Structure 1
Amino acid sequence: MDFVSIRVITGDIARLVGFYERATGVRARWATEDFAELSIGSATLAIGSTRTVPMFAPGSSHPADNRSVILEFRVDDVDSVYRNLTGTGFVRDVVKEPTTMPWGNRSLLFRDPDGNLVNFFTPAAPHMPG
């Protein structure tokens, strides 16, 4: 078995894809106007418009309705990412500025345009699992 991706459903796919392209520095691959993927390291962030939901099961997913998942990205320097994203006003809803957590990781938490919680973190040690 392979864990392939996390898919986020959104009401404004262009805005959300643009946000993640800026936040990660990775260009999305668009399959259709309703679906794009960002391959980041060994994981894929898939973003689909609400028009894709009926193909799976009508009414099964609602955009901007998540309060239980944290999208996490390991980065080389959390403070640099913070300056890059907030210096331009790109991220408006910072939940926690760069902070060294009790387990040693340095983390930046913010919400994407749909309200999903995002954690950019730098491990305390280079080989520490994320």
Structure 2
Amino acid sequence: MTDLTAHHVGTTVSDLEQAVEFYRDVLGFDVLTEFESSGESFATGVGVPNATGKFAHLDAQGVRVELIEYDPAGEPCTAESVNQRGAKHLGFEVDDVGAFYESLPDDVETLSEPQTTPTGARILFIRDPEDNLIEIITP
């Protein structure tokens, strides 16, 4: 069997430009590349007839985050809470969750103020402009 290595974590968005702005300007990620893909092999590969995709890859300190805007767009499947089956989130580490929280623009939605878990980790969940959950953690 071939050994697997991580390449990226991805999330589908409806407005790539707005999502890139958030991940770049609010989270501080560098844009590595932006590109488009289409054609029969792409549509067959993603299992969406006649699909095209606009992509952005961003660097989250060594983790490649892939944002994808599809045409045709699918139905939203945003989880209302993290305990829903199939719920997903992206997790990113910072040195100080409290300082990160204080630096957020007022229009960024949070689930709560930073919390300290029984393991001693400090966590904060925020939502991106597409309502995707993002965990900010200081382990």
TM interval, shorter chain, is 0.7 to 0.9
Question: Do the aligned partners of 1:94 and 1:110 also contact (CA within 8 Å) in 2?
Answer: yes
TM-score, L = length of structure 1: 0.77
Mapped pair 1:24 → 2:44: no
> Which one has the largest radius of gyration?
2
Question: Do the aligned partners of 1:10 and 1:63 also contact (CA within 8 Å) in 2?
Answer: no
- Aligned residue runs from structure 1 range 64-79, under 5 A: 64-67=76-79, 68-79=87-98
Question: What is the root-mean-square deviation of aligned Cα atoms in Å?
Answer: 1.9
Question: What's the CA shift for 1:63?
Answer: 6.2
Partner Cα distance (2:7, 2:95) in 1: 23
The one-letter code matched in structure 2 to 1:104 is G
SS of 2:65 mapped into structure 1:
strand
Question: Do the aligned partners of 1:64 and 1:115 also contact (CA within 8 Å) in 2?
Answer: no
SS of 1:96 mapped into structure 2:
coil
Question: What's the CA shift for 1:69?
Answer: 0.4
In the alignment, which residue of structure 1 is the partner of 2:110? 94
Question: What's the CA shift for 1:29?
Answer: 2.3
In the alignment of these two chains, the number of paired residues is: 112
In the alignment, which residue of structure 1 is the partner of 2:6? 3
The partner residue of 2:103 within 84, 89, 92 is 84
Change (3 A) 1:66 1:21: same
In the alignment, which residue of structure 1 is the partner of 2:41? none
Change (3 A) 1:64 1:23: farther
TM-score, L = length of structure 2: 0.72
In the alignment, which residue of structure 1 is the partner of 2:124? 108
Instruction: Indicate the percent of aligned positions where both proteins have the same amino acid.
Output: 29
Per-residue displacement from partner, 1:21-70 (whole Å, max 9, x unpaired)? 1232122123326211112123111001113xx7xxxx7xx364232001
